[in-house]
Amino acid sequence: MKDLAIKFSALICCLLVSGAGTASADEAAALREEMANLNRQISTLEAKFAGLQQSGSVPTYVATSAGEEKAGLLSDIQVGGYVETQYNQNLTRGGNAIAGGNNGRIFDTDRESFSVNAVEVNFAKEANPEGGAGFRFDVQMGEDAQVVNGDGAAGDKFDLQQAYVEYNQSLAFLGETDLISDTINFKAGRFTTLAGAEVIEGPDNWNISRSYAFGLALPFVHTGVRSNFQVLNDFFDVYFGVNNGWDNAVDNNTGKTFEFGLGYSPIEKVSVFHALYFGNENNPDVLTAGDNGSNAGGSRFLLSNVVSYDVTEKLSLKGEFNVGQQRRAVASGENVQWYTYNAYARYQLTDKWAAAYRFELFRDQEQFRTGLDRTLWGQTLTLERQVAENLIGRLEYRLDRTDNNDAFGEDSNMSTIGAQLIYLI
């Protein structure tokens, strides 16, 4: 290497000197010979260096800064969320609170009050659809979080709403077939329920308030494992899973709850989804008055059905029917049942304005879900405006009725108004 450097330096000096005038024929011939010798030595050196690389004697990596390495790891992680604030006004004399519950309202129970309903941030790395791993977790804070985590009005306003790892397993070994999809997805951890038309996240609903079905008839989240795949040339979207039950981070009994979901589109612009849950939901450590323990451990059944129809580009309709049953739910050992019917409509008035309407009916025959033997009806009208690119504003009027004369404080009716702002992260 030292001799090569000396010869190369001499060659450069020669070129610089020869540039001052015209070289003779002998000088030119000597220069060409020297360049040929130099090329041969460089080729020999390159061959030796390549051999060192193959043997592992020389590092083959290219050094990068710590910041560049971190950017590479985080570059494919998606970040989202929203901030939701609200004002509620109850126009009814008796207020929100009633005997045996909070009148069925789930996220908007405060009267004449401003509130921060939710601040949610979610992080996700999607699994490679052809086979690979990913994850997602959603952190929520605010009034909604204390309801979802089960702590109630005086509870912790923080909830780890979703936290799971997922893996897509390739099914290429089955060969080309329309019977089943190319991959099957597995999730393990905590995830939202398959049941119902409404969801926890406010921006994804058509109304400000949630229905009785959302708050009283259905679970919020599950902790367990869930699989998802498509069959018959992707016509059916199929879910199978097993979990700790309704909203239980840790199971409160020795049984498990099984879930099944089936989605399909029978005709263009119409989609249907069925969700089925079955499992033990009784806590043997919490017995009803007069129960000697023989009734603990009853199984719970839930069937949820949702139909969506995009009539035009501006008009969308949805229908929802849920039926639930709990075996040996009371001290007498009797079974209880509840069911709900919901109808939704949304019309896009202009590019920025939209209107939504919801009609609902909830029947609690044995006072199991509401604390009163009653039927609840509700009608909700919501006006929405896209205030800015990431800002949604909503106004809402809701009228609730019941066949129990004093269910809403001192009345059988309840009227409320609400205003909401949602910023999308």
Beta bridge partners of 214: none
Q: How confident is the model at residue 334 (pLDDT cuts 50, 70, 90)?
A: confident
Written as six digits, the tokens of 118 are: 């939710």
Q: For residue 248, give the amino acid letter.
A: N
Model pLDDT for residues 222-279, shown as the tens digit of each residue: 999 999 999 999 999 999 999 999 998 888 888 899 999 999 999 999 999 999 999 9
Higher pLDDT, residue 315 or 50: 315
- The predicted model gives 139-168 an average pLDDT of 86
Among residues 220, 215, 213, the alpha carbon closest in space to that of 361 is found at 213
Chain-centroid distance, C-alpha 68: 30
419 CA to centre of own chain? 25
**What pairs with residue 242 in β-bridges?**
225, 258
pLDDT at 210 > cutoff 60: yes
Q: What CA–CA distance (Å, rounded) separates 4 from 38?
A: 8
**Rounded Cα distance, 115 and 236, in Å:** 41
Please tell me the distance from the alpha carbon of residue 297 to that of residue 309, in angstroms, as a whole number.
40
Cα gap 425→422, rounded to integer Å: 10
Average pLDDT estimate for 15-39: 56
The helix or strand, by DSSP H or E, that contains position 37, with its residue range, turns out to be helix 25-55
**3-class secondary-structure state, position 341:** strand
Instruction: For the chain, list the domains and their CATH numbers.
Output: 2-55 (no CATH), 76-424 (2.40.160.10)
Residue 78 pLDDT > 90, yes or no? yes
The pLDDT of residue 123 is above 90:
yes
Q: Is the pLDDT of residue 64 over 60?
A: no
Classify each residue of 74-112 as buried b or exposed e, where b means 16 or more C-beta atoms within 10 Å of its C-beta.
Answer: eeeeeeebbbbbbebebebeeebebeebbbbbbbbbbee
Extract the tokens encoding 185.
Answer: 């997805």
**What are 4's two structure tokens?**
């090569």
**Percentage of the chain surpassing pLDDT 90?**
53
Rounded to the nearest 5°, which phi and psi values hold at 322? -130, 140
What are the beta bridge partners of residue 263?
237, 273
Tokens 């020869």 appear where? 18
| DSSP, residue by residue, 114-131 | EEEEEEEEEEEEPPPTTS
Average pLDDT of span 153-173: 87
Question: Which residues does residue 82 pair with via DSSP β-bridges, in sequence order?
Answer: 120, 424
pLDDT of residue 156: 76
The two three-digit tokens of residue 365, written as one number: 């025959």
Top pLDDT among 44 and 318 is at: 318
Cβ–Cβ under 8 Å, residues 239 and 227: yes
Is the CB of residue 219 less than 8 Å from the CB of residue 200? no
Q: For residues 87 and 419, is the Cβ–Cβ distance under 8 A?
A: yes
Q: Closest Cα to residue 320, out of 185, 207, 190?
A: 207
Of 256, 294, 263, 251, nearest to 278 by C-alpha is: 256
What's the predicted TM-score (pTM) here? 0.78
Q: How confident is the model at residue 124 (pLDDT cuts 50, 70, 90)?
A: very high
* pLDDT tens column, 44-60: 655 554 554 444 443 33
